[in-house]
Structure 1
Amino acid sequence: MGQSFSRRTPSIKEARQSHDVKQTHRALLSDDVVFLLLSQLAPWDGSGAAAACKVWRSHWKRRCAGLLRLARHRVGAYEWCNHVVAKPGGGVIVSNYHESRLEIFSPEGESQGAFVAGVSPFDTPGAVALLGDERNTAWIICEDNQNLVCVQLGDAMGEDKFLEPSDQIVSPTMDYICPKDLALSPGGEFLLVLVDDYGELGEVFVLNSRDGTIVGSFGFEEDDTFGNLHSPRGLAVQGDYCFVADTYNQRVCVFNWRSQTWVRCFGRRGAFLHRHLGDPEAEHPYWWDSVISDGSRGYEDERKGTGPGEFIEPVGVAVHGNMLYVSELVGRRIQVMRLPADILDLSSEPQVLQIIPAPGGQRLGGLCVDGERLWCVGPHCIGPPGDREDTYVSLFSPYV
């Protein structure tokens, strides 16, 4: 009878007793060297290398703390979609603009029904902010009407739930110029609404979340200061701080929303004021038109950058603990960063832990964090109806 043999990974003690290892691979057993080597590998390369032995495997787990992998691609399919919001208890709600539905998904990306506009308590939904109460109260941006409505969603209970005008609890609806995103203060008493002036200047309004009355605003100054926003697309709130994806300034701006003051910005190239020296009085002082390779019009901006901690049109921003997540429209990637211990320390920058290429290389939209999972919309919808690709949501989960 033949003998069967099983291969066993040698322990680190046995490896150190090996003559070959002692003579030729001693450096590879050093904790510092192993961790440094694995830190240079992309996740898809390091996963294979980590299987070499226990030491490499344990160091790879250290390397991947806080890092994400693509767990599910193409969750849902939409003609137009740019927003996803975490749902209390796990999972997300995706705004299906074209069909006037709020699609519900489990933490694993399985469909759990939808909230559907009946006679139209909301239509063409954009960003959603959930108050987290028993009635599932939510503020919703109606994109085409450029206003906000507040509704009681209740529970879809695994199937579609049609909402009627009686579900609307705030009247009249609040009108704004191009509302882009919503976020609630930690206690839920205030609603922050990000707006822009038809793709130009931006501003954040602070509302009473119960009746929608405006109690303050920030992000727009008469003079040319760091606190001015330019076509911002996304925001997130943590504690006293509001993080804004300042899209055409190629940066993430941080404000204290309680005092309504600018604090600092992230984005190494976007962290300075710049005027094009050739035309300092230009209508758009930070960038200028140019013709790109396919003959269409584009723009140049010295603050755009492809390096870690630099951005090319950031559009989505999320904060969870000490982690900052930023999706880029034209940069076509997600950056995962660890925030400085003291956000007021202007000498300290976020540490870039991971750069995730956009699945399929498409332009990205908004994102959100659901526990340890990250959800991101993409491709971002562009072009006329009929020429657009379907939009979907990608789910990322931690490496294990």
Structure 2
Amino acid sequence: MSPSSPVLIVGGGLVGASLAIALDAAGCAVTLVEAAAPRIDSQPSYDERNLALSRATVNGLKAIGVWRHAGAQATPIRHIHISRRGEFGSARLDADKHGVDALGWTLPARELGGALLRRLDECTHLTRLAPATLEALESSAAGWHARIRTPAGVQAIDTSLLVGADGTASFVRQQLGIGVERYDYAQTLFVCTVTPERDHANRAYERFADDGPIALLPLAERRCGLILTVSTDEAETVAAMDDAAFIDFAQQRFGWRLGRLSRPGKRHPYAIHRVAAERLIGPRAVLVGNAAQTVHPIGAQGFNLGLRDALTLAELVAGAAEPGASALLENYAARRAPDREGTMTMSHGLVRLACLQQPLLGPLRSLALLACDRLPPLQQALARRGMGFRDEPPRAVLESLP
């Protein structure tokens, strides 16, 4: 007879690890399967990106004991400036105006990954299989029979609830027969760090243009995280630029609000696609994070949305006698639908509208930004959504809800 685990999580990236920690903190027995060895330098999701973490996300990371390992490396975002190149409108958000100390925080993905690994080491109800790979699944009346390849050989595990947290190309999703809707933005994202001439003053910038958005996120030591989107046709040319040519290109795209940019760090390109699972649940199975939805990085919604997936699922499983019960999973899907669909619609619509090459839209876009900047109800709605408080969030993120 195979050993059993009430919950089996496949994928130990940022969202999968967060879910495992949240379940462990609630006293739930869980097994986590991760293809990479449990080291920061071997985890593909613990890369050189700089993550913009919403206020709700940081509340959630505090609730599950991760933030104490990461907070010292984070930089608060106290102001946000949103604009479009060549148009007159802009919107500004200020933490003091909304009664909080920060709207969010910037944290290198590698630092968050390290914090998650340290917190995983503290778990007492968790079994970690890493490096390990899910090879096959068979359904059963009680759940799933999983065959997992480890360095010691193949291990079989029976589980009541199978969780696919294994990324955009999810093997679990494929095995469940869940289709996806794909959209190729024909864009490539370049991320690196830069040093601006002027102090960023804890201000994050998002700037739109015909050829895609560009963002600067505040970091420690007066540096900034640069997120630069180019068309796929340009990507090879941009990748081949030396540092001087690249910084000139970024300067032209961003402008001079922070003076001259300099000292670009190592660049990392990412092709941008939207991939949305046609449904979130199957028989005694559920998808979270990028396995459920991979969104355009505009507005930095990816991990923030995925963590709300993980914390909502953990909240429901923690109070359940049977973690894979169909009623529980249907409740999960219903709880996540408004946030998921709203966030995907917002990110997709924003990149299509804000970056659309249509001069006649310019005045309307500017007026919309000015309205968000000047009208208190729109300003408040924009701030709350930006801080991650929308629809029915998991209880773990509500500790300091403004």
Q: TM-score, normalised by structure 2?
A: 0.25
Structure number, greater radius of gyration: 1
In proportion to residue count, which structure has more helix?
2
Higher relative contact order (CA closer than 8 Å, sequence separation 6+): 2
Q: Could you state the TM-score of these two structures normalised by the residue count of structure 1?
A: 0.25
